[in-house]
Amino acid sequence: MPTNLSIDIGNTAIKLAVINKTRIIFKDTHFEPITIENLKVQISQLFEIFNFAGAIVSSVRNDYEIVADIFSNFKQFEYLTHQTPVPIKNLYETPDTLGKDRLAAAVGATVLFPNQNVLIFDVGTALTVDFVNFRGEYLGGTISPGIQMRIRALHEFTQKLPLVKPQFETMQLFGTNTISAIEAGVKNGILYETEGYIRRFSEQYSDLHVIFTGGDLFFFEKNIKNSIFAEPDLIHIGLNRILEYNA
């Protein structure tokens, strides 16, 4: 059965996934710097195992020529840009500034919940919230600091507040010292923010589905009181759908 290769190149990590329809059958993440030669070797090894039908790359870097050279022997290769045809209607006023990960996640949401209203939270370095309606129209979203960015901002933009390493296993309504007060403020604040979005969108849009993805997914999955759908591979699912759409 044909498989595809999806690669998401971010600022701090390169994530690879081998996909059969919507099922991830292999994935790998490189957090340390990886050379192009090493990436070539790994992709060549994976190609021998899976014999890919195609590949798609989403990258925050200006590396099209380098990446395209790696996939020169693939039958189909897509390098995601704002000009790449996608199976949703993008109504963002400045499509060239829309993050490719946000666009891919929006497409992935329509794969999991076709013809339905979907609110997508990507919880990582930043907290992004994006909305796709039942017509398959991407209407836009919001961007705010993620957990780690909020903690660093409190430390770097003040004279005395310490840099805290949050303990995600516990939740407190308030702190009894400066460290626990920062933890409680950041963790409760971002939870109230996300729950507020869910409540407001639910009031305006019927039969709303809520998807969470991203590096801090486990924290929200554990602590959000609303009913949510957790999908750590949402971006890969969306990239794969875009690849198939352009086949």
Can you give the pLDDT of all 247 residues of the chain as single tens digits? Answer: 679 999 998 777 889 999 987 789 999 988 777 777 778 888 888 988 988 889 999 988 777 887 888 888 788 999 999 999 999 999 999 999 999 999 999 999 999 999 999 999 999 889 999 999 999 999 999 999 999 999 999 999 999 999 999 888 888 999 999 999 999 999 999 999 999 999 999 999 989 999 999 989 999 999 998 889 999 999 999 999 999 999 8
What is the model's pLDDT at position 9?
85
Predicted pLDDT at 66: 76
Q: Which residues pair with 160 in a beta bridge?
A: none
| 163 CB-near residues (< 8 Å, 6+ apart) | 151, 152, 155
The set of catalytic residues is: 101
Q: Using CA atoms, how far apart are residues 235 and 237, in angstroms rounded to an integer?
A: 5
pTM for this predicted structure: 0.92
* pLDDT at position 67: 80
> Which pLDDT score, from 0 to 100, does residue 140 have?
97
**Alpha-helix residue ranges (DSSP H) falling in the chain:** 36-50, 64-70, 100-112, 147-156, 178-204, 217-223, 234-245
Name the helix (H) or strand (E) containing 139: strand 137-145
Q: Which of 95, 207, 104, 194 is nearest to 142 (CA)?
A: 194
pLDDT at 114: 96
Give 35's contacts (C-beta < 8 A, 6+ positions apart).
none
Per-residue confidence (pLDDT) for residue 1, from 0 to 100: 60
Q: Which residue has the tokens 């990239």?
A: 239
Q: Are strands 14-20 and 4-9 parallel, antiparallel or unpaired?
A: antiparallel
* CATH numbers and ranges of domains, the chain: 1-79 (3.30.420.40), 107-234 (3.30.420.40)
How many residues in total does the chain contain?
Answer: 247
